Amino acid sequence: AAGVIQSPRHLIKEKRETATLKCYPIPRHDTVYWYQQGPGQDPQFLISFYEKMQSDKGSIPDRFSAQQFSDYHSELNMSSLELGDSALYFCASSLGGGDVHGYTFGSGTRLTVV
Amino acid sequence: QKEVEQNSGPLSVPEGAIASLNCTYSDRGSQSFFWYRQYSGKSPELIMFIYSNGDKEDGRFTAQLNKASQYVSLLIRDSQPSDSATYLCAGLGAGSYQLTFGKGTKLSVIP
């Protein structure tokens, strides 16, 4: 079965650079969520989109922005990168917002800021 | 502040034993709860979800929810070394799009 696809798998950037992470949800899923997981930490919710509109916002820094496109894929844009942005970034998708059956997570993008 | 609390562990059990993982939550509005398994460096994998009081069984896994006590647990029977991972408890509030995760409990199953 198709899963949530994230790209790239690994990304190394220097401080103050920008990065773009991409997420392709499971086919027919209309809701996308972004989470950030620092080393040894639990995943922290950043932002979600339902039907291409922002549906909820968590602890996403102002330096980050995201959007969901007409094909339901989503991109997380990160600017002025800081060392503390080094983390695993997970995208998840579901059919409908707040899907009681839970999200399906992608394999994640490991961002390292040097 | 909506919080989900878990013992960080590590929890060590011998192979074949029952592993018991516990979670409490502070938001009485939380409707659904999820247990995810996460191997180091990998993404969380959904094990079970529960939204009604009582027990829910799926194979070797049993989730228990007590809304009055704001308590969720996961029992793993006949624990296997491959069950060694971090288990994340997460809650979803009514009408919410975001999961609130606990810090996770690291489980080690000793052969």
CA–CA gap between residue A47 and residue A45 (Å, rounded): 6
Can you name the residues that pair with A109 across neighbouring β-strands? A89
Write the pLDDT tens digit of every residue in B9-59: 899 999 999 999 999 999 888 888 999 999 988 999 999 999 889 999 999
CA–CA gap between residue A82 and residue A65 (Å, rounded): 15
Q: Does B51 touch chain A (CB under 8 A)?
A: yes
Residue-level pLDDT at B99: 86
Residue-level pLDDT at A97: 66
**Greater confidence, A95 or A65?**
A65
CA–CA gap between residue B70 and residue B83 (Å, rounded): 26
- Chain A contacts of B2, Cβ < 8 Å? none
Residues 16-35 on B with a CB inside 8 Å of A are 31-32, 34
> What tokens does A4 get?
């949530």
Find out whether B106 and B7 touch, Cβ atoms under 8 Å: no
Q: How confident is the model at residue B93 (pLDDT cuts 50, 70, 90)?
A: confident
- Among residues of chain A, what percentage have pLDDT more than 90? 78
Cα distances (Å, whole numbers) of residue B21 to B1, B67, B72, B87, B105: 23, 17, 9, 8, 7
pLDDT at B108 over 60: yes
- Closest CA–CA distance from residue A91 to any residue of chain B (Å): 9
Residue-level pLDDT at A1: 65
CA–CA gap between residue B55 and residue A7 (Å, rounded): 38
Overall average pLDDT of the B67-87 stretch: 96
